[in-house]
Chain A
Amino acid sequence: MIDQFAFLIAEGFKSFYRNKLASFLCVITIFINFSILGSLFVVGYNTNSLVDFFRSKYSFEIFLKNDIDEDDYTDFMDELSRNNIIANTELIDKEKSAFIFKEEFGEDVVEMLGYNPLPLSIKVFINEESFEFDQVDLLIESINTYDFVDEIEYRGRYINDIEDRINLAIFLFLVFVIAIIFLSYQIISNTVNLSMTNRKDFIDILKYNGASGIFIKIPFYIESILYSVFGSVFSYLFIKYFFISFNTYFGVNVKLDDNLWLWIIGFSIFIGLYSSNQSMKRNLNE
């Protein structure tokens, strides 16, 4: 049994070695495909962080009328805090508004006009986990009904647009990923096809001497695993060092998933085995 298994393993390696040119081209193609696929994965992985970043910035500001008294806005803030889609609120009183104005425009508005015209406002931060635009819209609508509310500044819809574009990009990535997976499938399948055609005599001899289907297939499975492993290991190394260099050169922090190597190699082996199995089914008339 061990001798038989050793024989099959050796046959797989011999087949890989004998079809040098086809094997080389297959490894190169898997390398290119999985380098693109892995890079897309890294981009997708970091895009999620970008979306989270935008979501963490979801907030709106309620400007209150000048005649509001302290009890009203304190009660109002308590009421807002009890709403579960609101993470927290921050009161920006007239003094703080003047300070922000000075920081942003370099002018002291009180000194300039002799009084503080800036309104009192409340900054409301949305809970990003339970965030839904419709709920925020409803909340804003209800806040607008209060007499002491002057105006609400809300930029969520702009962020929503950005998110929509990111989602579109992710969708296009997915289409691209599917195309690359299909291409990898075709290439491995065709290489195994070629390998089986080259070794038709070998397969016939195995068949006529009583080899079972699995016995005939194992060397070709091993061959396709070798294509996948070589191609994907090279592509993982390429991606890793590419993004390390990218981060260093542009001073950014593109993160790599710790399991990226496992994902790339595992997925590549899966595609390799699946496509070679399909190819063998065709060739062995199963």
Chain B
Amino acid sequence: MVEFKNISFSYSKDSGVFDIDLKVNDSEFCFLVGPTGSGKSSLLKMIYFDILPSEGEIDVLGYNSRKTKKNKIHKLRKKIGVIFQDYKLLKQRTVYENIALPLHINGVGRKKIKYNVEEALELTDLLDCQDKYPNQLSGGEQQRVCIARAIVKNPEIILADEPTGNLDPAAAHKILKILEQINKEGTMVIMATHNYKLISDRDYRIIELKAGSLVSS
């Protein structure tokens, strides 16, 4: 479960997030919507404690933003998969190596790494690309590699920050379908987007932000 308790954080007087009270339950799928600069990314960053609120507190999977020491944050992050709009793939590594990285961090053995990576590649329809380098892939494929990297460690939460922002509608739908499939297996998914058209026909909870404040949830 993720719970924001009256949190605020500001970059400057006008930008940031203000007085957010919000709860997202386990296995829930929700969209975080709002225009650019509304605070969607900041809210996501707060979930994996990349940004800590200046007021209020957040509880994520039993980790509290006030009580968790800096050197323990990595334990929380092991349970969260993050998907970035700009993919953040390592260009000098193959698709396979990029996806395997979180498993190396978790100390998983070589055989289990191979099994889990192949499973993630299958789910994201990337089996044919595993030996390619990111710059040999299309934007949609790169985003799927990013998703595979996020899901390979079987996280409890997936945070997707504008995962379809750079993609054409067909590729965007494919990404969304993969995320839905992951959610069906019990993983909480929070997806930030400003693509209202993409989510309009989906019946999921929508959390709307405007100028850093919660409009509806």
Interface residue ranges, A against B (CB under 8 Å): 1, 3-4, 7, 18, 201-202, 204-213, 215
Q: Which of B71, B105, B110, B113 contacts A209 (CB 8 A)?
A: B105
Interface residue count on the B side (C-beta < 8 Å)? 26
Asked if B92 contacts A209 (CB within 8 A), the reply is no
Asked if B101 contacts A210 (CB within 8 A), the reply is no
Residues of chain A lying within 8 A (CB to CB) of residue B153: 209
Asked if B90 contacts A201 (CB within 8 A), the reply is yes
Asked if A206 contacts B110 (CB within 8 A), the reply is no
Query: Measured between alpha carbons, how far is A215 from B105 in the docked complex, in Å?
Result: 8
Residues of chain A lying within 8 A (CB to CB) of residue B108: 3
Top 6 A-B pairs, shortest CB-CB distance: A210-B78, A210-B77, A209-B102, A4-B107, A7-B104, A211-B105
Asked if A3 contacts B105 (CB within 8 A), the reply is no
Residues of chain B lying within 8 A (CB to CB) of residue A1: 107
Q: Give the dominant DSSP class at A's interface.
A: helix
Instruction: Name the residue among A7, A202, A209, A215 with the largest chain B CB count within 10 angstroms.
Output: A209
Asked if B107 contacts A3 (CB within 8 A), the reply is yes
Tell me the B61-94 residues at the A interface (CB within 8 Å): 71, 74-80, 82, 88, 90, 92
CB distance from A6 to the nearest CB of B (A): 9
CB distance from B104 to the nearest CB of A (A): 5
Residues of chain B lying within 8 A (CB to CB) of residue A207: 74, 77
Cβ of B106 within 8 Å of any chain A Cβ, yes or no, is yes
With A1-B107, A3-B107, A3-B110 given, is the CB distance from A210 to B88 under 8 Å?
no
Asked if A210 contacts B90 (CB within 8 A), the reply is no
Asked if A210 contacts B106 (CB within 8 A), the reply is yes
Asked if B90 contacts A202 (CB within 8 A), the reply is yes
Which chain A residue has the least Cβ–Cβ distance from B86?
A201
CB distance from B12 to the nearest CB of A (A): 21
Query: Measured between alpha carbons, how far is A209 from B110 in the docked complex, in Å?
Result: 18
With A210-B75, A210-B77 given, is the CB distance from A204 to B105 under 8 Å?
no
Query: Measured between alpha carbons, how far is A204 from B88 in the docked complex, in Å?
Result: 9
Cβ of B4 within 8 Å of any chain A Cβ, yes or no, is no
> A210-B80, A212-B74 are known contacts; what are 12 more A-B pairs with Cβ within 8 Å?
A3-B107, A3-B109, A4-B104, A7-B104, A202-B90, A205-B90, A205-B101, A209-B77, A209-B82, A209-B149, A210-B102, A213-B71
A–B complex contacts, Cβ < 8 Å, 9 sampled: A3-B107, A3-B113, A201-B88, A208-B77, A209-B82, A210-B80, A212-B71, A213-B71, A215-B74
